[in-house]
Structure 1
Amino acid sequence: MDDFTLGTLFVALLIILLCSGFFSASETSMMAINRYRLNHLVRKGNKSAKLTARLLAQTDKLLGSILLGNTLLNVAAATLAEIIVLRLFGHDNSTALLVGSLTVTFAILVFSEIMPKVIAASHAERVALPSSYALAAIIKLFYPVVSIATALVRGMLWLLRIKVQTDHSHHKLSLEELRSLVLEAEHFLPRKHQKMLLNLVDLERVTVNDVMIPRNQIEALDAGADPAELRQQIITCHHTLLPVYAQTPGNVIGILHIKRVLPLLEDTLDTGQFREILHDPYFIPSDTPLLKQLQQFQERQTRMGLVVDEYGELLGLVTLENILEEIVGEFTTQSPAQTGKFLRQDDGSLLLDGSSSLRELNRKLGLQLPLGEAKTLNGLILEHLQDIPEAGTSLKIGNYPIEIIQTQDRAVKVARLFPAQKSQPLQRG
């Protein structure tokens, strides 16, 4: 080292610090790069992205090479700084040697660790992709040493019974993680599109029981009714597919498609021919997820099913439109029996039908009524009170005060819901 001038030694120290900073920045950028963005670039054929993905597929070798290079450079920087101090102040000045060591440590910390890593974390893709070429060559250069070190590490991890996944290039997202990604994309997606994606994610945990039309609201035909009365019901119906029952509404014997019965309406309706044109009913377990049911509708090429419980009792009816409305919102014309579910009052309160679906109220009115076992407002009130209330009873569910206006047939017919009350912060003296 005596053959080199001080200027040359300072330049060499600066180069070492810069190279150490490169290793620090490349390590941070490789770990911080967006894997989904990287996979997108790989599918587009980006060569740098393909190389980066290959390096990330062997994380142990990548990190081992980076750490080896960084350690060697930091040791070289400390040694070079000591030589410079000795050349400047001699061998007897221990204070100068201590100050020199602290100075180079501070320089490594700031210029080779913190600053490169902050930059790399903020611009991971811009740093990682170009760095992959140099890192690929360094991995080949350090391969023998890194392989031995990696083998020792794996051996110790095996003894400690610690399982390590080295390939992080194919992460599987859970539904909650996917939901979080959609929520974080609010600056890139219109609000309506974001809401549709969130609804689509939720299809897996929402069942047909949550969106079905309750049994008491189903428009159905009685196969045993008088032909003239049956003909009149068909002419005035509001749907193209109608369940047909015998004796009791729960005993559905078939599904009528209106277009198939039109020729029979020209004369007196023949009940024998009427039964022959019925389709077999399609029954659905009440706990079937909406996403699965959507697929089953597609496979069966049908758009309506009857929801039954574990005992085979009819609970309601679900259609393809009910599921699609969970994704995109309402777009079909509803029958009179399904309209008028709420009426807004001058004081801001809402008059609600007790049979209203909680999910529908939350979606239409922006409420946050709790969703659980109860599917309707009546069910939620009964679940909360554990009793059938009388008119005039008031209660509070969540942040919403509710007043029972009318009860009928052991159920809440009409209830008034007041705007949510914000909790007041405690005053401290």
Structure 2
Amino acid sequence: MLFVFFILIIVFAVLAAFLSASETAVIASSPFRLNQMAKKNPSASVLLELQKQMPVLIGCLLFTNICLLNGMASIATELFRQYLGPLGLVIAPVVVSALTALYVEILPKIYVYQCPERAALFLVPLLQFLKRFLFPITLLMDRIAHYSLSWLGVSSTKETANTLEDLRGAIDLHAGSGIISHERAMLGSILDLSRVTVSEIMVHRKNIVSFNIDLPFEQLCEYLLTAPYTRIPLWKDSPDNIVGVIHLKTLMRYLQKKEKLKENSDIYSMMKAPWFIPETSTLFYQMQLFKEKHSHQAFVVDEYGSLLGMVTLEDILEEIVGEIRDEYDVDFPGVRTTPQETYLVRGCVTLRDLRRQYEWNFDEPSVSTLAGLILHTCRTIPEVGTVVRIKEFEMKILRVHHHQVTLIEVTPMRSEENVQ
């Protein structure tokens, strides 16, 4: 009889260990990873369906596990009582609890947690059998649990998952450096396209390379052909009054066909009408419009129709992949390092570029440039020599031109831990 009891305890313990492992495997399995595995492994699809009924499945596992553990404890207590008498009733709970916690709960869960998807796929047949066999009992227990929570005033309705935040969390957990770090930054930038507006990345109107359409034709052609861009805006009367955009390929073809072009009316025939967009357009929406209209350039205006700046398809792509440089670009324009480990930064450099290039995070959504951040912090136009402390950075104003902060010396402050 002793041998039979001992065998029953071992069987109950093994089954309980499998159920404990199953519980951890099902909970810890990533739905995203299972969704990818389901394309090749049908068991992954079954596991995904089981996860959708998580309360019933967990109730099934816990009910079976508790029955096995109680049966094992009852048999062990009876054996201890037979051989140790009343003292066995005191020793049995301590010994059984310690062995159960270690070998039935802790060890299986630790092992399964290392590879939850693989373990869950292996245990799928067991999970399906228990769910079907104990479905009436576990469904009844689930209903009782929900009614009990309602009686206590606790809502049992599962909150709707924020898929976008789930993706951001998964991307942030994509640990690593080098190529992995760049991949993480690119994936995060793709999600930002739907909430970043064109006004945050546009080229300000003061920095737009444009020319007066009323210039003498030969002089205008000389300016256009020496410009570092292929699409050049043209203005009339004022740089804020953009009247057209000329493509250098169109100009070159026109110059090849006609040897003499002396009238500015030829420019009007070559240029295209400018495309104006509101400043509130998101990058994702604007990129879709670029694809639909087969255009690469648009001009940003405010609610009053005043020109704010210009945005191109390349600007949006740079938000995803980082700075795209060609033979005419310079290395991260607007920032220069000094031997004293400080940075000379132009005021027009955007905070997003600084975050992407140097991982400087200022978390200020209301401004887009470094000069705007300083004005927002000071609440006044600072004088030359003014030192401003923003987060872990010390900023010294080096140049102010026409009430605009144009050059700043940025010194990252070292924390006490780094200094030590």
| 1:404 pairs with one of 394, 397, 403 | 397
Matched, 1:59 2:58: no
1:402-424 deviation digits (Å, cap 9, x = unpaired): 3333322222233333x312244
Instruction: Describe the shift of the 1:376–1:109 C-alpha distance in structure 2 as closer, same or farther (beyond 3 A).
Output: closer
Instruction: Describe the shift of the 1:201–1:83 C-alpha distance in structure 2 as closer, same or farther (beyond 3 A).
Output: same
Question: Is the contact made by 1:217 and 1:338 (CA closer than 8 Å) also made in structure 2?
Answer: no
| 1:36 pairs with one of 32, 36, 40 | 32
Distance (whole Å) between structure 1 residues aligned to residue 181 and residue 332 of structure 2: 26
Distance (whole Å) between structure 2 residues aligned to residue 313 and residue 290 of structure 1: 20
Q: Which amino acid aligns with 1:258?
A: L
1:354-408 deviation digits (Å, cap 9, x = unpaired): 3333333444455445543332233233323322333333333333333333322
Q: Which residue of 2 aligns with 1:79?
A: 74
Q: Which residue of 1 aligns with 2:9?
A: 13
| 2:306 pairs with one of 313, 319, 323 | 313
Size of the aligned set, in residue pairs, is 412
Instruction: Describe the shift of the 1:153–1:303 C-alpha distance in structure 2 as closer, same or farther (beyond 3 A).
Output: same
- Aligned-pair CA distance for 1:109: 2.7
Question: Is the contact made by 2:274 and 2:298 (CA closer than 8 Å) also made in structure 1?
Answer: yes
Instruction: Describe the shift of the 1:369–1:334 C-alpha distance in structure 2 as closer, same or farther (beyond 3 A).
Output: farther
Question: Is the contact made by 2:216 and 2:264 (CA closer than 8 Å) also made in structure 1?
Answer: no
Q: Which residue of 2 aligns with 1:99?
A: 91
- Aligned-pair CA distance for 1:30: 0.9
- Aligned-pair CA distance for 1:34: 1.8
Question: Is the contact made by 1:256 and 1:278 (CA closer than 8 Å) also made in structure 2?
Answer: yes
Q: Residue 174 of structure 1 aligns to a residue in which SS?
A: helix
Alignment of 1:346-361 (within 5 A): 346-361=339-354
Question: Is the contact made by 1:245 and 1:252 (CA closer than 8 Å) also made in structure 2?
Answer: yes
Question: Is the contact made by 2:16 and 2:68 (CA closer than 8 Å) also made in structure 1?
Answer: yes
1:75-100 deviation digits (Å, cap 9, x = unpaired): 211322233234435xxx32223323
Distance (whole Å) between structure 2 residues aligned to residue 393 and residue 155 of structure 1: 65
- Aligned-pair CA distance for 1:31: 0.9
Distance (whole Å) between structure 1 residues aligned to residue 217 and residue 104 of structure 2: 90
Question: Is the contact made by 1:404 and 1:412 (CA closer than 8 Å) also made in structure 2?
Answer: yes
Q: Which residue of 2 aligns with 1:185?
A: 174
Distance (whole Å) between structure 1 residues aligned to residue 296 and residue 344 of structure 2: 32
Q: Which residue of 2 aligns with 1:141?
A: 133
Question: Is the contact made by 1:215 and 1:315 (CA closer than 8 Å) also made in structure 2?
Answer: yes
Instruction: Give the share of equivalent positions with the same residue, in percent.
Output: 27
1:143-181 deviation digits (Å, cap 9, x = unpaired): 232233233334445554624349x9xx65324x42332
Q: Which residue of 2 aligns with 1:174?
A: 164
Q: Which amino acid aligns with 2:51?
A: L
- Aligned-pair CA distance for 1:126: 3.1
Distance (whole Å) between structure 1 residues aligned to residue 13 and residue 318 of structure 2: 60
Distance (whole Å) between structure 1 residues aligned to residue 132 and residue 240 of structure 2: 74
Matched, 1:262 2:257: no
Q: Residue 185 of structure 1 aligns to a residue in which SS?
A: coil
Q: Residue 102 of structure 1 aligns to a residue in which SS?
A: helix
Report the RMSD for the aligned CA atoms in angstroms.
2.8
Alignment of 1:94-133 (within 5 A): 94-133=86-125
Q: Which residue of 2 aligns with 1:70?
A: 65
Q: Which amino acid aligns with 2:56?
A: K
Question: Is the contact made by 1:308 and 1:314 (CA closer than 8 Å) also made in structure 2?
Answer: yes
- Aligned-pair CA distance for 1:313: 1.0
Q: Residue 249 of structure 1 aligns to a residue in which SS?
A: strand
Q: Which residue of 1 aligns with 2:241?
A: 251
Question: Is the contact made by 1:51 and 1:133 (CA closer than 8 Å) also made in structure 2?
Answer: no
Distance (whole Å) between structure 2 residues aligned to residue 235 and residue 301 of structure 1: 24
321-330 vs 360-369, which moves further: 360-369
Distance (whole Å) between structure 1 residues aligned to residue 329 and residue 225 of structure 2: 15
Matched, 1:209 2:167: no
Distance (whole Å) between structure 2 residues aligned to residue 272 and residue 374 of structure 1: 41
| 1:164 pairs with one of 157, 162, 170 | 157
Distance (whole Å) between structure 2 residues aligned to residue 26 and residue 339 of structure 1: 53
Q: Which amino acid aligns with 2:71?
A: A
Q: Which amino acid aligns with 1:184?
A: L
Instruction: Describe the shift of the 1:215–1:74 C-alpha distance in structure 2 as closer, same or farther (beyond 3 A).
Output: same
Question: Is the contact made by 2:336 and 2:345 (CA closer than 8 Å) also made in structure 1?
Answer: yes
